[in-house]
Amino acid sequence: MTIKEILVCGNPRLREKSEKVAKISKSIEQLVSDMFDTLQKAKGIGLAAPQIGVLKRVIIIDLHTKDEDYTGVMINPEITKKYGEKTVMQEGCLSIPEVYCDVERPEFIDVSYMSLYGKKEKMIGVGKMLSRVIQHEVDHLNGVLFIDRLNKEERMKAAVILEKSKNIEKQKPESNL
């Protein structure tokens, strides 16, 4: 079990665009395993490789709600179509702790990707929460954070929360000795 550090907002690696994965290798398999260990420890529902400092186009999802149950890996995911009404839902991010904001995204997507076994896959008409999680994680692969999708007023609120959380972190003692 390998738990990686999740990079937080302000780290420049979160703003870089990720590279496509050419083939499934042992290092990609290990990356996916580490990502699931990290996601489980963080109690999240999605994680993109750049969030642990690896600039590869890999996302994982572990989503379990009343209406949706999906656990999977998407390598080189590409959203091929966005449609339906734009809906607003609150989003958070493991890389932006303590910040939750309303984000508008298309309700449905089509996505193509490669499985961990190297097989090309498609999901058509993905809706609700799974669609939102995929869009959020694919944004990470492109160096985009959910706060970039906020209007100016919401972005300023998020900045205030981020600044407060940084100040709280600075005040914590370095050890419990």
Q: Which residues are catalytic?
A: 137
Given the DSSP bridges, would you call strands 69-93 and 96-114 parallel, antiparallel or unpaired?
antiparallel
E strand or H helix at 158 = helix 152-171
Nearest 10 degrees: Cα torsion 109, 114, 119, 123: -10
Calculate the alpha carbon distances from 139 to 19, 45, 85, 114 in Å: 13, 15, 19, 17
